[in-house]
Amino acid sequence: MTWKFPEVPLPSEVGVTVDLRTPIIPNSIQVQCEEQQVLIEVDMDFFKNGQLINPTDLTLGGCAVVGQDLSANKMLLQSDLHNCGSVLTTTTDKLVYSFTIIYAPQPFTGTSIFRTTGAVVGVECHYQRNHNVSSDVLYPKWMPFSAILTGEEIFLFSLRLMTENFVSIRSTTEFYLGEMIYIEASVIQFYHVPLRVYVESCVASASEDANSQPNYNFIDNYGCMNDAKVTGSSSRFLQRTADDKLQFMLEAFRFQNTGTVYITCRLIATAAITPRDYQHKACSYLGAAGWASAGGSNEVCGCCDSNCAGGGGGGGGGGGKGNQNKYPQGELWGETTVGPLSVKKRPV
C-alpha cells in the first residue's frame, strides 16, 4: 500500500461572460457637392464620444473652418472645386474631385497632454462628364458621409535602424566609424486616406536631449540631407518604394569625446495626394551632380543651398519614441528619437 499526501482542494474557476461590443461608426460628416464648390458640415462631437473638438484643429486640405453653429455644435468647411488641396481624377464617365479633412489636435493650453488623437478623412465629389443640357437642372443634395474611424484614430511615427537591404530591423546598435547606418522613417495609419511621410530635420546628439551640446544637424531646411556636402560622406536618401516609408543612410561618426550618438528626427505626414514642394521633399547632395530628390522632380531641391522656408529661396535597434502635433497647414508631425548608438573606432 502506497501512502501519499492528500491533494489540496482547489476552488473551481468561475467563468466570466464578456460581451464584445461592435464599434460604432460615427456619422459626423455631411457633404454637399455643388456645381463649383463643396460644402462640408462636420459635427463638433467628431468621434461621437461626447468630446467636442476645437474648430481650429480642423482643416480641409489646410483651409480653416469658415463657420460655426454653436447651438447645433456644427462646423462648416467650404472650398471651390480646385482649391484646398483638391485632386481631380477623370474616368470614362465621371469627374472626381478628392478632398482631405484633417483633424490634428493641439495639447491643452499650458500642458503637453492630449485627450484625443488625429484623423484624416477623404471626401469625394462625383460629377457626370456628359450631361444633357436640355434636361432638368441637376440639384445637389446633402449626402451623409460615414467617417469610418477606430473610435479615436491613431497616427504612429517610427524611426528604425534597419539592415542594409531594409528587410529586417537591425539587432545591434553598435557601429564602426565610416560604417553605414541604415534608417527607415515611417507612418502607420488606420482607416485613413494614404499618407506620405517626410523627414523634415534630423539632429545627432551625444545625449537624449537633442538640444544638448555637442550636436550635429545632418538633415535640415525641410528635408535637405547636407551631411555629404559638409563632410564628403556618402550619406543620402534612398529612392522611395512606398509613400508611408522613407529610407536613408548615414555614415557613422563620433563626437570628439564620446562614441554615444542619439538621432532625433522630426517627421511629417501629409495626404499622399498632396504635391511635393520646397517644404515637402527628401533631397540628397550627390557631389558634382548637385541636389537630387528621392521622389518626383529635382526642382524641389533648388532651395537646399539657401532657405526653403520662403517657398523656394534660390531655386534591436528598434523604434523611436516621440510626440505628435500639427503645423498650421494641418500636417501631422512627430518628433522621434533612436538610440543610443555606440560608434566605435576601427581596430588598427
Lowest mean pLDDT among 149-153, 212-216, 304-308: 149-153
DSSP state of 191: S
d(CA 318, CA 186) in angstroms, rounded, equals 12
Name which residue leads in pLDDT, 139 or 233.
233
Res 322 pLDDT > 60: no
- Measured over all CA atoms, what is the biggest interatomic distance in the chain, rounded to whole angstroms? 106
Q: Which CATH number does 29-128 carry?
A: 2.60.40.3210
Task: Return the number of other C-beta atoms located less than 10 Å from residue 21's C-beta.
Answer: 6
Q: What digits encode the pLDDT tens for the residues 32-78?
A: 888 888 889 998 888 887 888 888 889 998 899 888 887 788 888 99
Average pLDDT, integer, range 136-150: 36
Neighbouring C-beta atoms of residue 27, cutoff 10 Å: 12
Query: Which percentage of the chain shows pLDDT scores above 70?
Result: 74
Q: Domain-by-domain residue ranges, the chain? A: 29-128, 152-304+332-344
Q: Which residues contact 104 (CB under 8 A, 6 or more apart)?
A: 57, 59, 118, 325, 326, 330, 331, 332
Res. 152 pLDDT band, cuts 50 70 90: very low
d(CA 117, CA 155): 8
- Is beta strand 321-326 parallel, antiparallel or unpaired with respect to 332-344? antiparallel
Average pLDDT over residues 91-110: 82
User: Is residue 180 pLDDT above 90, yes or no?
Assistant: yes
Average pLDDT score over residue span 162-189: 90
Between 16 and 343, whose confidence is greater?
A: 343
Q: Do domains 29-128 and 152-304+332-344 have the same CATH topology?
A: yes
How do beta strands 119-128 and 321-326 pair?
A: unpaired
* Residue 160, pLDDT score: 92
| 302: phi then psi, degrees, rounded to nearest 5 | -65, -15
The mean per-residue pLDDT over the stretch 111-140 comes to 63
pLDDT value, residue 8: 52
- What is the dotted CATH code of the domain comprising 152-304+332-344? 2.60.40.4100
Give me the mean pLDDT over the 314-322 stretch.
Answer: 42
b/e burial code for range 86-121 (CB count within 10 A of at least 16 → b): bbeeeeeeeeebbbbbbbbbeeeeeeeeeebbbbbb
Which of 36-50, 85-99, 201-215, 320-334 is modeled with the greatest confidence? 201-215
pLDDT tens figures, 252-297: 998 888 889 999 999 988 888 888 888 899 999 999 899 999 988 8
Q: pLDDT higher for 187 or 131?
A: 187
Average pLDDT of the chain?
A: 78
